[in-house]
Amino acid sequence: MVMAFFVFAQMQAQVNNENTITNEQNSSAIGLKTVASGVASFASGITSTASGLCSTTIGIDNLATGDYSVAIGSNLAAAQGNSIVIGSGDPVVERLTNKQTYSLMVGFLSQYPTLFVSTSPRYNKTGSIAIGNVVNEYGYIAPQSKLHLRADEGEEAAVFIESDSWESNDTSLLYLGNKAHGISADVQEGMMYNTEKNHVFKGGDIFVEDIDKGIIMKSPDGKCWRGTLDNSGSLQFIKLDACPGTTTSVFENKNNSLFDINVYPNPADNIITVKIANNEISKNIKLNVVIINQNGTVVMSKYMDGSSIGFFTGDLASGSYFVKVTDGHNATTKQFIKK
């Protein structure tokens, strides 16, 4: 009886609200002044039309004209086959229209999409993502990379990677290629550029604006010198008490550590073991363990689920290194020597 009532109500909605079904091959129109004119099409809401084969529209004043197209929201148009558009267009100026096959467009109160997902080039590949109105000369959304972001006029083209709590020394990270290459930032260390090889700058100058800051270089005897520019354009070097990254305090978190670590053997040859002294801590949290050289570069990185983990250090150059273990909020650092 419930099902019969539901079907009757839908039929009444089609009749009483002046809905139109112009193709009798399994098309359906419900709501107010909706039109389902495509074969096996479905239109619901208010003044919406589904004219494509197996097309679907749900909402207000939408058009689903492409075959197998979908429009969900208001003031939208899915104009090509297998196109999907979700959100709402500008109710006065222009609809938000997806005119590209096998793609998804999302936007709200605009004729331009905020998010666009392109088609895949083949079955074993994936598409690209555009954020903003990434249009080419022909008026189509065309991401130029896997992720392409374009700002609107007068807006910054910015990506904000925000840690949970900056003041508690959480780290914000951007990995490039692998976890040994990237950019990190936290309240204590500032900005760090990590790489397994060289820092190479191409096609431009390096500009140091603050006259009290300069370029730090290490001399062959292991001492570090900061060079600053005087008014005659000459570099003046002053010896530093310690090189950046050669003291434990550079890497330690200011917060009180919740755990202690042991690193052995020290000095090390081919293998070191990092062990958490408090086994209860290691059972309850996932820890990130990194090995850092004297230049502040992360040379190895692993996640530790248990109470200990090993690293093969045979490929490391002789010298001083640091093991830093962090749970995302607290950190402990120990120094070891590679023979």
Tokens (6 digits) for 324: 């830093």
Residues 184, 319, single domain; the answer is yes
What are the tokens at 38? Answer: 């495509």
- Asked whether residue 238 is domain-assigned, the answer is yes
Max Cα separation, the chain? 95
Does 253 lie in the same domain as 235? no
CATH of the domain at 75: 2.150.10
Question: Is residue 287 located within the same domain as residue 190?
Answer: yes
Predicted local confidence at residue 210, as pLDDT: 73
Is residue 71 domain-resident?
yes
Structure tokens at 323: 């093991």
CA-wise closest residue to 163 among 174, 148, 149, 147: 174
Same-domain status, 13 and 113 = yes
207-236 pLDDT, tens digit per residue, is 877 777 788 888 877 788 888 888 888 888
Q: Distance between CA atoms of 277 and 61, rounded to whole angstroms?
A: 65
Question: Do the beta carbons of residue 307 and residue 289 sit within 8 Å?
Answer: no
User: Tens place of pLDDT for every residue, the chain, 339 residues?
Assistant: 445 544 444 444 444 456 687 766 789 999 999 999 999 999 999 999 999 999 999 999 999 999 999 999 999 999 999 999 999 999 888 999 999 999 999 999 999 999 999 999 888 999 999 999 999 888 899 999 999 999 999 999 999 998 888 777 778 888 888 877 888 888 777 888 887 777 788 888 888 777 777 888 888 777 888 888 888 888 888 888 877 754 333 333 333 445 678 899 988 889 999 988 765 555 556 788 999 987 778 899 998 877 889 999 999 988 888 898 887 667 788 888 888
Amino acid, res. 139: G
- Residue 157 located in a structural domain: no
- The gap from C-alpha 297 to its chain's centroid, in whole angstroms, comes to 23
Q: Residues 23, 25, 28, CA angle at the centre, nearest 5°?
A: 70
- Same domain? For 234 and 327 the reply is no
Angle at 15 between CA 12 and CA 16, to 5 degrees: 80
Range of the structural domain that residue 227 is part of: 210-243
Q: Is residue 159 part of a domain?
A: no
In the block, tokens 């670590």 appear at 261
Instruction: Give me 67's structure tokens.
Output: 């075959």
Q: Do residue 94 and residue 116 come from a single domain?
A: yes
In a domain, 205, yes or no: no
216 with 270, same domain? no
Domain assignment of residue 155, yes or no: no
Q: Is residue 216 located within the same domain as residue 193?
A: no
Judge if 103 and 10 occupy the same domain: yes
Asked if residue 324 is part of any domain, the answer here is yes
State the total domains in the chain. 3
Q: Tell me, what's the pLDDT at 77?
A: 97
* φ and ψ of 9, to 5 deg: -65, -40
The 3-state DSSP class for residue 10 equals helix
- Nearest residue to 78 via CA among 107, 110, 100: 100
Long-range Cβ contact pairs of 46-51 (< 8 A, separation 24 or more): none
The answer to whether residues 231 and 274 belong to one domain is no
For residue 86, give both structure tokens: 């979700």
pLDDT of residue 254: 36
Q: Judge if 80 and 186 occupy the same domain.
A: no
Domain of 183, CATH number, reads: 2.60.40.1930
Token digits of residue 77: 């148009």
pLDDT of 238: 86
- Dump pLDDT digits (tens) for 328-337: 667 788 888 8
234 belongs to a structural domain: yes
Which amino acid is located at 307 in the chain?
S
In angstroms, the CA 296 to CA 302 distance is 17
Annotate 58-125 with DSSP letters as a single string.
EEES-EE-STT-EEEEESEEE-STTEEEEEE--SSS--EEE-SSSEEEEEESSSS-SEEEPPPSSTTS
Is 255 in the same domain as 125?
Answer: no
> If we measure between CA atoms, which residue out of 8, 61, 53 comes closest to residue 32?
61
Q: What's the pLDDT score for residue 7?
A: 46
Strand 70-74, strand 76-78: pairing: unpaired
Name, in order, each residue with C-beta under 8 angstroms of 131's C-beta and a sequence gap of 6 or more.
114, 115, 116, 147, 148, 149, 150
* CB hemisphere CA count around 117 (13 angstroms): 10
